[in-house]
Structure 1
Amino acid sequence: MTRVAVAQLGLHVGRPDDNRAAARAAVAEAVAAGARLVVLPELVNSGYVFAGAAEARTLAEPADGPTVSEWVRLARAHDLIIVGGFCELLDGRLHNSQAMVDAGGLRAVYRKAHLWDAEQDVFVPGDGPAPVVDTDFGRIAMMVCYDLEFPEWVRSVGLAGADLLAVSTNWPASPVPAGERPVLLAHAQVAAASNRMYVAVADRCSAERGVGWVCGSSIMGPRGYPLAGPVLEDRPAVLVADCDTGAARDKAVGPRNHVHRDRRPDLYPDAGARIPAT
């Protein structure tokens, strides 16, 4: 059993020192709560609502820059795994990226494959698979925000044996009908239930240039129900839940069904590649 934390941070575009300080404080709070894995939001170093690509470029940094390097120091000091998002500069191009670090250093960098709205004017989409990394906790997969809305992408890490999917996100708020919760939470719950794995979502708070946020930080269990959160309040928060990799490796749904073995890829071998005619 491993204690997992998700940190909901108040981030601000153009204030990297303040943003790193917020992440540092959240990691300290998670450590005090006994967490061994900490998930941080999307674009921690830079904030999200850029005036354009030029502004993002002034805030971007390489994977060995100050933000990820600080996460490595924190991971070594506390024997942690940290997963968080950052604005990355790589070979002159900007990526909406996510790093995983542990006491041994940088383990993986994932570059967001599915870009949302104005992100397409700023970032180059990643062209590699979502990583599934063997760690002391178990097998951790990595995704950023809008990636979670593509079932084929999520299924790919489920089939690769992920025990937990770490999602760094900045979910923008949108109108929600009375009595309902944001549908983005349903994506996290369905991802967990349909793959029988944990899904740890670190969202953000603090309105930025007129954009508000879902503030949906949460940890979903392998049956799709929340173990912690969602916060759904515009405030910083650190949530923790105890996660058992054994539960994530049991893919049975009752005595006769299994979320992976029951698939019928013979009927839909190319379903992920088809685009309906318009």
Structure 2
Amino acid sequence: MASILKVAVIQLHAEPMQMEKNFSQSESYIRSAAAQNAELAVLPEYHLTGWVPDDPAYFKLADEWETYLKKYQDLARELKICIVPGTMISRVQNDDGSDVLLNIAYFIGKSGEVLGSYRKKNLWHPERDHLVPGTQDHEAFDTPWGKVGLLICWDLAFPEAFRDLVTQGAKLIIIPTFWGLHDCSEQGAAYNPNAEALFIESTLVARAFENTCSIIFVNAGAPAGDSMIGLSQVTVPFIGPLAKFGSSLPGMILVDLDMNIAEHAEQHYKVRSDLARVDWHYGPNRRPTLP
């Protein structure tokens, strides 16, 4: 099993409602990443459509998700690169015949197959008027670098989501995100205008340590002066961010992620070993698969 994973972290600025333009921009980054020997490219949440759910045309765009998923599958197959194409909004019909929106992340293997998917469970409060949360259990899946799990944006706030994946053997957790300073309340911003950036940076490091796992966090980008935070990064135990964007400006960074770091952290902290104990204090429903 490969120990070094070369990751392309793509902090994309999506033009609202411009799916083809946003896909073309994504494709250009992914082709550049593949030419530099990247093995995995990760894009942000809502990277094709932006987040404009009150626009009546948004539902129509949500019907195009299969078309663009196939485009990414074809691109992965052509370039022999794994792709997490952020998230895709899809429209489905509810039991009562009404239309609802789902927010789903996919992990596409280098042969074009979908190795895993995840529908966002923990919706940010304004999303709840528009999206239907996932109801399935979190699920880790196999990749050339071991077990991987997918989360989306506000899932970062819930340690239970990480533990659910870790107890299934996930060593790497990938989080496409759409997170801005505007997500803070007026009261919170009065205490600290950069509160949301502090939330992201401190929580990512804590999750990496407390779960002895690596994290790929890819936020949306934006022009200077926009309220998007950016701060896309690859974070690991012992070190914190291996590399990260210092702003919200769009772009791409390539990161060599040593998967052994998480293993060495586990050997030291023994978090997974404790979770596997029959007499573990908190009685998780699942036990991890240990080497």
Which of 248, 253, 258 aligns to 2:270? It is 258
Question: How do 1:121-140 and structure 2 match up within 5 A?
Answer: 121-140=129-148
TM-score (norm 2): 0.82
2:261 is paired with a residue whose SS is: helix
- Distance of 1:156 and 1:136 partners within structure 2: 21
2:29 matches 1:13: no
Shift of 1:221: 1.6
2:77 matches 1:76: yes
Which of 208, 211, 217 aligns to 1:201? It is 217
2:183 matches 1:182: no
Shift of 1:206: 2.2
1:106-146, Cα deviation, whole Å (9 max, x unpaired): 22221000000221011100011223110123221101000
1:223 is paired with a residue whose SS is: coil
- Distance of 2:112 and 2:257 partners within structure 1: 22
2:127 is paired with a residue whose SS is: helix
**Aligned match of 2:234:** 219
Which of 84, 87, 90 aligns to 1:85? It is 87
Structure whose residues are more often helix by fraction: 2
Shift of 1:239: 1.7
The answer to whether the 8 A contact 1:43-1:97 is kept is no
CA 1:44–1:215: 2 relative to 1, 3 Å: same
2:61 matches 1:30: no
Structure 1 stretch 121-130 or stretch 91-100: which is displaced more?
91-100
Shift of 1:267: 3.6
Structure 1 stretch 258-267 or stretch 135-144: which is displaced more?
258-267
Shift of 1:29: 2.5
- Distance of 2:198 and 2:36 partners within structure 1: 28
The answer to whether the 8 A contact 2:9-2:255 is kept is no
- Distance of 1:228 and 1:4 partners within structure 2: 11
Shift of 1:234: 2.9
2:279 matches 1:237: no
Shift of 1:211: 6.9
The answer to whether the 8 A contact 2:175-2:215 is kept is yes
Shift of 1:270: 7.8
**Aligned match of 1:167:** 175
Structure 1 stretch 174-183 or stretch 96-105: which is displaced more?
174-183
**Aligned match of 2:101:** 94
- Distance of 1:110 and 1:48 partners within structure 2: 19
Shift of 1:81: 1.1
Structure 1 stretch 160-169 or stretch 172-181: which is displaced more?
172-181
The answer to whether the 8 A contact 1:94-1:124 is kept is yes
Shift of 1:224: 5.4
TM-score (norm 1): 0.85
Shift of 1:266: 4.8
AA at the equivalent of 2:229: V
CA 1:206–1:179: 2 relative to 1, 3 Å: closer
**Aligned match of 2:288:** none
The answer to whether the 8 A contact 1:251-1:260 is kept is no
AA at the equivalent of 1:76: R
- Distance of 1:3 and 1:147 partners within structure 2: 25
The answer to whether the 8 A contact 1:29-1:238 is kept is no
CA 1:49–1:268: 2 relative to 1, 3 Å: same
RMSD across aligned C-alpha pairs, in angstroms? 2.6
**Structure 2 unmatched ranges of 5 or more:** 94-98, 286-291
AA at the equivalent of 2:152: V
- Distance of 2:12 and 2:199 partners within structure 1: 21
